[in-house]
Structure 1
Amino acid sequence: MDWSRSKSIFIFVFLILDLFLYSLYLNRHTEAEKVEILGEETIEAKLRNDNITYVALPNNIDTAAYLSGKVKNFEEAALPSNRNQKVKVENENKLIVTLEKPVKLRNLDDEASYKEFLQSNVSEGASYVLWEIDHEKRVATFFQRINERTIYYNINGIVTIYWNEQGEVYLYEQTMLEGLEENEKKENLLSPLQVIQTLYAKQLLKPNSRITQMKLGYSTLVQLTQTQVFVPTWDIRVESENGNQEEYFVDAVEGKVIDVNLDTVNVEEIEEVENRE
């Protein structure tokens, strides 16, 4: 047998096979791109038909990592001293701070006034972002953030401030997450348009509505006694035809619509489950 000739034949056959597999890959990749483009065109057409509009969508946010951290336990002896603050620690991880002399907010209608109070009077106040102001109840809520991304509705990363009829803050409550670190592995994220398509398919976007904001942050994926794990999450705000405001949270990795109320699970209940196991 001419081994040299046989070797050449084998090389030629494998070369043909490689070319065939590569051609098959290119065809499938092209078809996938066509399907993706078709899907985007379809959702955009449906949005136009229902007169659903949206602001400029975020771009260049293709990947993000899962986030992990721990619930911070406070020790009264280790807290910074402040003559104007009377501090009580509740359940080890919650500060209840009474101001001996209430601090007046500069302007109740100006968001910057609330931020100024937090940065001047609350430990690590700059690591929280204003989320909601309730003028009727005289309460403002701040969520913790990392790398300019908000951690949505985690009961262990919130500051709540209370003011009186004179616009003076007399009390605030604080919980904090510490040791926040991103996973080394980056995850591919759903694009904003894909998220909009998910909401539309679930009939959460009504005709004549407008998407006013889309931001990437984090929501709770796992909430154990101390350890917390967070998944990249799209926050979508929608204004309906009658002016009502709706807000939705979508897992940016798997595309699930998240019920943020689930994040208020009582930690004691989780502890009981762990103990039984």
Structure 2
Amino acid sequence: MDWNRTKSIFIFVFLILNIFLYYFYLNRYNEAQSVEIPGEKTIEARLKEDNITYGSLPNSNEFVVYITGKVHKFTLTEFTKSNQQANIIGEDDTLVHVDILNPVKLRNDDETSITEFVRANVKDGDSYALWKVDREQRTAIFFQKKGNRMFYYNESALLKVQWNMDNEVTMYEQTMLDNIEEMEKQETVIPPLQIIQTLYNKSLLKPDSHITQMKLGYSTMGYLTQKQVLVPTWEVQVKLDGETEEYFVNASEGNVIEIQENKQEGEEEDWGVE
């Protein structure tokens, strides 16, 4: 008997069997997903009844990965620009306050001008994306990002810029993650409509509201060590009666992420700004 040939035949047969079983499972799964419970309305119908609207939803036919990052410890040697005076704050050296000795004039207080300043004057400025501008307080908040995906309200990955009444930047404060690496396991993105259904089922979407934005980013699982694990996260902005609310949902598991405390810290903490 040719044992090698027999072994090859067995391997081939088992491969065909596995393919058949997977195909059978996939068909059964898709059938189960398409079964509608008699009398139960679809999520689209329920949203329409409550006048909850949304525009074009983003593409969800992709995979995402968890990432890790280490909290950066600043040193004064990183800040060599003659127009900047850096002061590292706190015992752990993870927050830096930088005064602009000769304030830098912005063309306007618009998003483009502020972003241009950050890219030209802030350490690793390209790795931050503008999140919010408060023209009354003359401040802008940036979130660190990987690619085009922001790290939402991560106190270790924030940048705050302030300018004076003459539209001149006078200071900024910064925290940062470095050594950012992707974890090996890939996760399937939960479709946007399913995320909307999750928020609706939790009564977070009110009648007459409009979903203005859905974007993929990252949120942080915890702050227990210098190394953090960041999870893929859907950010959903909802407008109702002129007010905008933000919701965050784990993009691979579907659970709503409560980061209101971090949001308040990012928006209200003065970070030493006067």
Classify the secondary structure of the residue corresponding to 2:221: strand
Deviation at 1:26, TM superposition (A): 6.2
Change (3 A) 1:216 1:190: same
Aligned to 2:178: 178
Deviation at 1:63, TM superposition (A): 1.9
Following superposition, which runs of at least 4 residues in structure 1 exceed 6 angstroms of deviation? 20-24
C-alpha separation in 1, matches of 2:158 and 2:181: 18
Aligned to 2:106: 105
C-alpha separation in 1, matches of 2:63 and 2:153: 22
CA contact (8 A) 1:62 1:190 kept: no
Aligned to 1:275: none
Cα RMSD after superposing both structures: 2.7
CA contact (8 A) 1:155 1:264 kept: no
Classify the secondary structure of the residue corresponding to 1:186: strand
Q: Is residue 84 from structure 1 mapped to residue 83 from structure 2 by the alignment?
A: yes
Aligned to 1:119: 119
Deviation at 1:259, TM superposition (A): 1.6
C-alpha separation in 2, matches of 1:26 and 1:218: 30
Unaligned runs of 5+ in 2: 1-16, 266-274
Aligned to 1:253: 252
Deviation at 1:30, TM superposition (A): 4.1
Unaligned runs of 5+ in 1: 1-16, 267-277
Classify the secondary structure of the residue corresponding to 2:190: coil
C-alpha separation in 2, matches of 1:156 and 1:265: 15
C-alpha separation in 1, matches of 2:73 and 2:85: 18
Deviation at 1:158, TM superposition (A): 0.8
- The alignment's TM-score, normalised by the length of structure 2, stands at 0.82
Deviation at 1:162, TM superposition (A): 0.9
Deviation at 1:80, TM superposition (A): 3.6
Alignment of 1:20-39 (within 5 A): 25=25, 28-35=28-35
Aligned to 1:49: 49
Q: 63-72 vs 20-29, which deviates more?
A: 20-29
Aligned to 2:234: 234
Deviation at 1:24, TM superposition (A): 7.0
Aligned to 2:268: none
CA contact (8 A) 2:237 2:247 kept: yes
Classify the secondary structure of the residue corresponding to 2:113: helix
Q: 1:147-178: CA deviations, max 9, x gaps?
A: 11100000111110111111111110011100
Classify the secondary structure of the residue corresponding to 1:258: coil
Q: 1:167-220: CA deviations, max 9, x gaps?
A: 111110011100111111101221100000001001111111111110000000
Alignment of 1:138-217 (within 5 A): 138-217=138-217
Change (3 A) 1:37 1:93: farther
Classify the secondary structure of the residue corresponding to 1:237: strand
CA contact (8 A) 2:79 2:86 kept: no
Change (3 A) 1:168 1:265: closer
CA contact (8 A) 1:231 1:251 kept: yes
Classify the secondary structure of the residue corresponding to 1:223: coil
Classify the secondary structure of the residue corresponding to 2:204: coil
- The alignment's TM-score, normalised by the length of structure 1, stands at 0.81
Deviation at 1:263, TM superposition (A): 4.3
C-alpha separation in 2, matches of 1:194 and 1:44: 11
Q: Which of structures 1 and 2 has the bigger CA Rg?
A: 1
C-alpha separation in 2, matches of 1:205 and 1:30: 28
Deviation at 1:49, TM superposition (A): 1.1
C-alpha separation in 2, matches of 1:128 and 1:215: 16
CA contact (8 A) 1:189 1:253 kept: yes
Change (3 A) 1:230 1:262: farther
CA contact (8 A) 2:154 2:220 kept: yes
C-alpha separation in 2, matches of 1:37 and 1:178: 49
Task: Give the residue type in structure 2 aligned to 1:115.
Answer: T
Task: Give the residue type in structure 2 aligned to 1:225.
Answer: T
C-alpha separation in 2, matches of 1:230 and 1:88: 28
Classify the secondary structure of the residue corresponding to 2:42: helix
